Amino acid sequence: MRIGCPVCGDRDAHEFTYQGDGSRTTPPLDADQDQWFAHVYERTNPMGRHTECWLHTGGCRAVLIVERDTVTHEIFSVRLAGAQAAIHDEEAGQ
């Protein structure tokens, strides 16, 4: 399986580490117990298109948000998360 890292280019998936369900947004630290329980413990776990978080541990260490099909393993999109995303978009805009 190959993931197209926006920093390094196309790489074999063994360079990346799966960081879990990427469709969740981390609640604010002072959110209540129910919100954090849902974030930490509950998953939709779809059979099909799934948003995931990966870390390019064997490369540039970027945190990536990947859309992938959990049946065919087809990867639809890969984008950076966090501050790198803003800088990347700004430069892509030029």
28 three-state secondary structure: coil
Pick 37 or 77: Cβ nearer other proteins: 37
Question: What's the token pair of residue 57?
Answer: 């541990």
Assess contact for 68 and 80: CB atoms under 8 A.
no
Pick 14 or 77: Cβ nearer other proteins: 14
Q: Give me the amino acid identity at 87.
A: I
Output the furthest CA–CA distance in the chain (Å, rounded): 44
Distance of closest approach, residue 37 Cβ to other proteins, in angstroms? 5
Distance of closest approach, residue 47 Cβ to other proteins, in angstroms? 5
- Taking the mean position of all CA atoms in its chain, how far away is CA 28? 19
Distance of closest approach, residue 85 Cβ to other proteins, in angstroms? 7
Please tell me the distance from the alpha carbon of residue 53 to that of residue 43, in angstroms, as a whole number. 14
Distance of closest approach, residue 82 Cβ to other proteins, in angstroms? 3
Give the footprint of other proteins on this chain (CB under 8 A): 1-2, 6-9, 11-15, 17-22, 25-33, 35-47, 50, 52-53, 55, 57-63, 68-75, 80-88, 90-91
